[in-house]
C-alpha cells in the first residue's frame, strides 16, 4: 500500500479554493474527472460532519450515478482538510466497493488529506490519498484527481465559480 500525492498550483486565492472544497455549489461545478458531473453535494462541513457527493458518468459510459462519503476528521480553516473516504449509496450509507463494480482491492475507509498553501494570489493544493495498492485503480485515481483540480481551477478562474452559479454562468 502506498500514498498517492497530487499537487497543483491553482491560480486563485486560498479563500476561493477553500470555498471550492467546502461549499456544495462550488463542488458541484468541478467534482469528477473529465466527462463526469456532480449532480448532488450534501455537506455538513465541520469536524465530525460528512459530505455525500454524487458523481454521474458520461452517457457513453452508461450515465450511471455513484456516490462518495467524506467523513471529516480534522479541519483547519483555509489550510487543511482531513477526511475518510468511502463509497456509499445515495443516502450516505457506506457500501462494499465490490458491490458497485470496483475491484476487490479498492480501499475502504481511505484517509485523505487536502492541504492548501497561500502563494500570494494563487494556492498550492496537495491531495494525499493513503492506502492505495499499486495498480490500475491507483493510477485512475491520480488521473481523476488531476482532472478534478484542473476543472476547479477553470471554474475559479472563469468568474462563474460563485455559489449558486453553474459552470455556464447562470
119-154 pLDDT per residue, tens: 999 999 999 999 998 888 999 999 999 999 999 999
The arithmetic mean of pLDDT across residues 11-25, rounded, is: 97
Q: What is the CATH number of domain 2-158?
A: 3.30.530.20
According to the model, what pLDDT value does residue 165 have?
39
Higher pLDDT, 166 or 53: 53
According to the model, what pLDDT value does residue 167 have?
36
Separation of alpha carbons 14 and 122, rounded Å: 7
Going from the C-alpha of 61 to that of each of 50, 65, 68, 91, 122, the distances in angstroms are: 28, 11, 18, 23, 35
First to last CA, the chain: 43
SS3 29: helix
pLDDT higher than threshold 80 for residue 162: no
**Could you tell me what percent of the chain has a pLDDT over 70?**
92
According to the model, what pLDDT value does residue 101 have?
87
163 pLDDT band (50/70/90 cuts)? very low
- Convert the pLDDT of each residue in 51-78 to its tens digit: 999 999 999 988 899 999 999 999 999 9
According to the model, what pLDDT value does residue 160 have?
54
pLDDT higher than threshold 60 for residue 170: no
According to the model, what pLDDT value does residue 29 have?
97
According to the model, what pLDDT value does residue 103 have?
86
Amino acid at each position: 500500500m502506498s500514498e498517492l500525492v497530487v499537487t497543483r498550483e491553482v491560480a486563485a486565492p486560498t479563500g476561493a479554493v477553500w470555498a471550492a472544497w467546502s461549499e456544495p455549489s462550488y463542488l458541484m461545478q468541478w467534482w469528477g474527472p473529465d466527462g463526469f458531473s456532480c449532480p448532488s453535494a450534501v455537506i455538513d462541513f465541520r469536524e465530525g460532519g460528512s459530505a455525500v457527493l454524487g458523481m454521474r458518468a458520461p452517457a457513453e459510459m452508461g450515465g450511471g450515478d455513484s456516490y462518495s462519503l467524506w467523513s471529516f476528521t480534522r479541519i483547519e480553516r483555509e489550510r487543511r482538510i482531513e477526511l475518510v473516504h468511502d463509497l456509499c449509496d445515495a443516502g450516505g450509507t457506506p457500501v462494499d466497493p465490490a458491490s458497485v463494480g470496483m475491484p476487490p482491492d479498492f480501499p475502504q475507509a481511505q484517509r485523505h488529506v487536502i492541504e492548501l498553501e497561500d502563494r500570494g494570489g494563487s494556492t498550492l493544493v496537495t491531495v494525499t490519498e493513503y492506502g492505495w495498492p499499486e495498480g490500475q485503480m491507483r493510477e485512475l485515481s491520480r488521473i481523476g484527481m488531476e482532472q478534478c483540480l484542473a476543472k476547479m481551477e477553470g471554474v475559479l478562474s472563469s468568474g462563474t465559480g460563485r455559489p449558486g452559479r453553474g459552470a455556464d454562468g447562470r
